[in-house]
Structure 1
Amino acid sequence: MNFIPTELPGVILIEPQVFRDERGFFLETYHAAKFAQAGLDVAFVQDNHSRSVQGTLRGLHAQWRRPQGKLVRVIAGEIFDVVVDIRLDSPTFGRWLGVRLSAENFRQLYVPPGFVHGFCVVSDMAEVLYKCTALYDPGDEIGVIWNDPEIGIDWGIESPLLSEKDRRLPTLRALVQRLQQAPDSV
């Protein structure tokens, strides 16, 4: 596996070695010792799987008190995967990174705790699998609106398909103000 650091500290792009022949392909998607050797000594406790149609945008989501690290990969189709640094003391606070993950390129993205995460489906359909380092807690969920002008993510789409919950997410500035005023009530 090739572990590629990105400009956002802790966010790692992972390119697995793919063995192909006339039967198809084989690859390792996770290997605890190899991840630990690359500085990702994490324990995953939950796996999630979503299927979405083209133009669907899911995110930007995180958890506040029990933040999750996520290992994201695509098993069908292609997505534009995005992370935004929301660590208040980080020199890269508010910066975003976007990468294309697909069933064809086999890339994975490790998103450490302290980032909101989301993706937009660019193919007809996409199936996304992701491993989490903490269990999902709906009462701890926070998020940032996908089109926050201060962040300026170029999603490549004007009118994505959004859940009602994602339509109502605050800007990063409004989220930070809320968390600073009442950090224990998200």
Structure 2
Amino acid sequence: MQQNLPDGVKISDLIKHVDPRGYFIEVFKQKWIEELPLIQWNVVRSKKNALRGMRVHIKHYDYVIIFEGKAVYALRDLRQGSPTQGLVSMVHIEGKHPQSVIIPPGVAHGFYFFKPSFYVYGVTEYYDKEDELGFYFADPDAGIKWPTSDPIVTERDVNLPPLKSIMSQIPTWHASST
């Protein structure tokens, strides 16, 4: 069942080949998304009840795959002029049903983990603190209904500004080819 997603967000099922030794998954082929050269990969392990976010990038795309665990990925389209501007989506993903999720610039995103989880993500730009904006995950103006009221969060995430304070920095929407 495909849900209503912000424009340019893509979710693709990945095939898990299981045998007596374990499993094999093709997680990425450049030809799947030739227009998005992924140049840096990162690995993240999160504890049960951890919340990461909210983040939004001005320049780069994220390509995310969860391998172990279960999470909900909160998405909100912040791009002025986007056909899905303001749309909030809660995407449930888990390692036993592997999927890739592509997040374009201007779409805010954050994770809540229901159990210990392990994921990787690739990006189309090298890390640049100027490209990473964030807002307070529990900001009522964001319209995100998290499945917990007491998550494990970092001091950094708790101290992020309200959504309205970063809106002037969000890129204008451009039709996506992804």
Secondary structure of 1:150's aligned partner: helix
> Does structure 1 residue 78 correspond to structure 2 residue 70?
yes
Show the counterpart of 1:183: none
Alpha-carbon distance change, 179 to 78 in structure 1, aligned in 2, over 3 angstroms: closer
C-alpha separation between the residues in 1 aligned to 2:52 and 2:22? Answer: 31
CA RMSD of the aligned region, Å? 2.1
Amino acid at match of 2:39: V
Shift of 1:20: 1.8
Gaps of 5+ in 2: 172-178
User: 1:156 offset after TM fit, Å?
Assistant: 0.4
1:21 and 1:8 mapped to 2: Cα distance?
Answer: 36
Matches of 1:22 and 1:52, distance apart in 2: 28
Instruction: Write out aligned runs for 1:106-145 (5 A).
Output: 106-123=98-115, 125-145=116-136
Higher relative contact order (CA 8 A, sep 6+): 2
Kept after mapping to 2: 8 A contact 1:5/1:12: no
| Structure 1 gap ranges (5+) | 181-186
Q: Distance in 2 between matches of 1:169 and 1:113?
A: 19
Determine what percentage of the aligned residue pairs are the same residue. Answer: 28
Tell me the distance in 2 between the aligned counterparts of 1:177 and 1:135.
Answer: 23
1:153 maps to which of 144, 154, 161: 144
Deviation at 1:6, TM superposition (A): 4.6
- Change in Cα spacing, 1:16 to 1:178, as seen in structure 2 (3 Å) is closer
Aligned position for 2:96: 104
Name the CA distance, whole Å, in 2 between partners of 1:19 and 1:85: 34
Number of equivalences = 170
